[in-house]
């Protein structure tokens, strides 16, 4: 029932984007319709990936999730990069990570805690995720510190080499998922919603639609920031990641509400790790081809928010217990970060 309405709504919104574009509607309308369409399409993409994973078995399914899980976000940021919006692209990398660990994990802990009281989770799994998150945050931070202290002309080289290291770590991460007996913690079994061919077809159609709508969405960013005085940093850190991830976020919160904190943390922290290790290097590699090299140099505010998010998440994760107050505090830090980016 919900499924059918969601597919219908997504199709309507995608068609709406085409219509709005041809009617030359105001930028804000185009931006809003495209954003809503992307929310739906990201969800469809997730459904197609999951269905294909069902047919391919848990191992390949785990890898499919680990590669296509952030596909919508990757496509949006590629189009933004092609438009030369490097500030938005870099901001959305950071925003995606802090959104996952502050807002999504926070909302999960808050609602899960209000429903279930103090929630327990495996310190081992949470600890590995928190460690890996800290490691990728360190990897993202060091080139920036370098860029700030060495304002010379060649940091692009360093960015590409760092991206190579991160991509190698991503390959190792996939190997780890393949080698580990249980794959990544997958959702409760059930039936694949589509056949093998239908899943594959849906994946291609949804990807194409995401690409089309992303172009419209990204094209509206610059006029929007100019007309309404919203900073590119705010669009990148807050709006783009929410559009690209919200479907996944809702799932993470629902699972916490069902008191499966291990799986819920796996979604939010795993998605952050993926953005850092897969999306970021791909964007760095594609940059020169698209005529807009992407240097891994973030703003101080971005790095501070990232560092704060990582330390806070680590501390929340490493005691193996969570309560609703911790969730509310994580959301509070996200709101404070959003305020700071809004005024930037």
Residues near a second copy, by CB under 8 A = 123-124, 126-128, 130-132, 134-139, 141-143, 145-146, 148-150, 154-155, 157-158, 161-162, 165-166, 168-169, 172-173, 176, 299-301, 304-305, 308-312, 314-316, 318-321, 323-326, 328-330, 332-333, 335-337, 339-340, 343-344
**Please, what is the minimum distance in Å from the beta carbon of residue 287 to a second copy?**
18
For residue 17, count other CB atoms closer than 10 A to its CB.
Answer: 23
Comparison of 172 and 201: residue with beta carbon closer to a second copy: 172
Q: What is the DSSP string of 26-87?
A: -HHHHHHHHHHHHHHHHHHHHHHHHHHHHHH-HHHHHHHHHHHTTHHHHHHHHHHHHTT-HH
Comparison of 84 and 117: residue with beta carbon closer to a second copy: 117
Distance (Å, whole) CA 99 – CA 249: 9
**Please, what is the minimum distance in Å from the beta carbon of residue 62 to a second copy?**
14
Structure tokens at 300: 């101080």
Comparison of 86 and 299: residue with beta carbon closer to a second copy: 299
Comparison of 248 and 326: residue with beta carbon closer to a second copy: 326
Contacts (Cβ under 8 Å, ≥6 apart) of 309 = 97, 98, 101, 102, 333, 337
Comparison of 202 and 277: residue with beta carbon closer to a second copy: 277
105 neighbors 313 (Cβ within 8 angstroms) = yes
3-state helix, strand, coil in the chain (%, to 5): 85, 0, 15
Q: Within its chain, how far is the Cα of 288 from the centroid? A: 23
Structure tokens at 306: 């990232």
Q: Which residue has the tokens 């700071």?
A: 340
Distance (Å, whole) CA 65 – CA 11: 23
Comparison of 32 and 328: residue with beta carbon closer to a second copy: 328
**Please, what is the minimum distance in Å from the beta carbon of residue 337 to a second copy?**
6
Comparison of 159 and 207: residue with beta carbon closer to a second copy: 159
End-to-end CA separation in angstroms for the chain: 43
Comparison of 209 and 310: residue with beta carbon closer to a second copy: 310
**Please, what is the minimum distance in Å from the beta carbon of residue 56 to a second copy?**
22
Distance (Å, whole) CA 83 – CA 69: 24
The CA angle 61-133-95, to the nearest 5 degrees, is 90
**Please, what is the minimum distance in Å from the beta carbon of residue 81 to a second copy?**
22
Comparison of 203 and 269: residue with beta carbon closer to a second copy: 269
**Please, what is the minimum distance in Å from the beta carbon of residue 33 to a second copy?**
30
Q: Which residue has the tokens 């996944």?
A: 248
Structure tokens at 189: 């079994």
Contacts (Cβ under 8 Å, ≥6 apart) of 197 = none
């Amino acid at each position: 029932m919900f499924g059918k309405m969601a597919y219908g709504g997504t199709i309507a919104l995608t068609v709406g984007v085409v219509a709005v574009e041809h009617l030359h509607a105001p930028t804000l309308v185009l931006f809003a319709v495209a954003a809503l369409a992307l929310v739906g399409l990201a969800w469809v993409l997730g459904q197609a990936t999951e269905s294909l994973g069902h047919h391919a078995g848990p191992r390949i399914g785990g890898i499919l999730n680990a590669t296509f899980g952030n596909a919508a976000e990757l496509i949006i940021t590629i189009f933004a990069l092609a438009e030369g919006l490097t500030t938005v692209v870099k901001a959305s990398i950071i925003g995606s990570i802090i959104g996952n660990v502050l807002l999504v994990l926070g909302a999960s802990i808050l609602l899960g805690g209000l429903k279930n009281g103090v929630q327990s989770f495996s310190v081992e799994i949470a600890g590995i995720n928190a460690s890996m998150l800290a490691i990728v945050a360190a990897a993202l931070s060091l080139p920036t510190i370098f860029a700030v202290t060495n304002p010379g002309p060649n940091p692009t080289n360093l960015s590409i080499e760092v991206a190579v290291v991160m991509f190698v770590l991503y390959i190792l991460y996939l190997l780890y998922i393949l080698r580990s007996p249980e794959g990544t913690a997958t959702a409760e079994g059930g039936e694949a919603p589509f056949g093998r061919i239908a899943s594959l077809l849906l994946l291609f159609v949804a990807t194409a639609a995401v690409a089309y709508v992303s172009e419209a969405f990204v094209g509206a960013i610059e006029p929007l920031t100019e007309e309404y005085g919203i900073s590119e940093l705010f669009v990148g850190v807050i709006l783009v990641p929410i559009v690209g991830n919200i479907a996944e976020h809702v799932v993470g919160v629902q699972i916490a509400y069902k008191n499966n904190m291990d799986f819920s943390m796996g979604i939010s922290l795993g998605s952050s790790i993926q953005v850092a290790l897969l999306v970021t290097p791909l964007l760095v590699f594609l940059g020169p081809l698209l005529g807009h090299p992407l240097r891994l140099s973030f703003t101080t505010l971005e790095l501070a928010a990232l560092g704060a998010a990582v330390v806070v998440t680590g501390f929340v994760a490493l005691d193996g217990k969570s309560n609703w107050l911790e969730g509310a505090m994580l959301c509070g830090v996200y709101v404070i970060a959003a305020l700071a980016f809004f005024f930037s």
